[in-house]
Amino acid sequence: MLKFNLIAAVCKNSGIGLNGDLPWCLKSEYEYFTLTTKRRRDTTKQNVVIMGRLTYFSIPVHERPLEERINVVLSSTLLPMDLPKNVLLFPNLEIAMKHLEYNIRKQIETVWIVGGSGVYKEAMASQRCHRLYITQIKQEFKCDVFFPPIPNCFKEIDPDPETPSGIQEEHGVQYEFKILQK
Ligand SMILES: NC(=O)c1ccc[n+]([C@@H]2O[C@H](COP(=O)([O-])OP(=O)(O)OC[C@H]3O[C@@H](n4cnc5c(N)ncnc54)[C@H](OP(=O)(O)O)[C@@H]3O)[C@@H](O)[C@H]2O)c1
């Protein structure tokens, strides 16, 4: 079965978004997201990023689709013509995963779930979910979108060698990269 990892930055009050954007501006944290979702051992393969409609449109126009990754948008209201030709559109996560599994599995190294809230919830409940890459932001922010509760079956594991360990700090905001696995 084709599995996926999930990646999210979550603040102390469990928030992930505000007004269709990130509640914070943490450049290095965003670079970690980019590097992690791009990283692959086999450069003949590609990683996939799967996101909800609002997350896709929260990406600045000049930065979307996310480069060097296969972009998948989940929506039951968008039409293919609403998206660039190289962006795949599916009505839900399982249909998207089945398409990747049956049609382009050999081209794929890692599938990343990159938000938002409902997609994270569906992802964590799925048997396909392998690891959660969570940036714990150690501060509260005003938010209107929140990360769902993490099921008890996920336990923290030692960070992989590519993940910076210990407390990171940017503009006085502290955060830590954590990895949880089923
Ligand atoms: N901190 C982080 O790491 C992080 C990561 C991602 C996003 N964000 C932030 O989160 C916000 C966007 O997230 P959001 O939760 O509001 O929206 P979202 O999940 O990006 O988009 C919601 C839409 O996606 C479609 N969808 C397909 N499958 C779904 C499912 N299983 N559950 C829910 N929706 C599904 C639906 O589109 P249709 O209505 O068209 O069917 C739904 O209305 C923004 O503020 C963004 O900046 C933060």
| Domain ranges, ordered by start, for the chain | 4-181
Mutate which of 7, 22, 54, 147 for ligand 1? The one with the most ligand atoms within 8 Å of its CB, which is 54
What integer pLDDT is reported at residue 102 of this predicted model?
A: 97
3-state secondary structure of 158: coil
For 112-149, the pLDDT digits (tens) are 999 999 999 999 999 999 999 999 999 999 999 999 99
Ligand 1, atom 37: closest residue by C-alpha: 75
C-alpha of residue 179 to centroid of ligand 1, in Å? 22
Are the CB atoms for 88 and 72 separated by under 8 Å? yes
3-state secondary structure of 132: strand
What integer pLDDT is reported at residue 159 of this predicted model?
A: 85
The CATH number fitting domain 4-181, selected from 3.40.430.10, 3.40.50.300, 3.40.50.2020, 3.40.50.460: 3.40.430.10
What integer pLDDT is reported at residue 160 of this predicted model?
A: 86
Annotation marks residue 93 as catalytic: no
Q: 6, 26, 29, 89: which one is catalytic?
A: 29
- Measured from the CB, is residue 74 less than 6 Å from ligand 1? yes
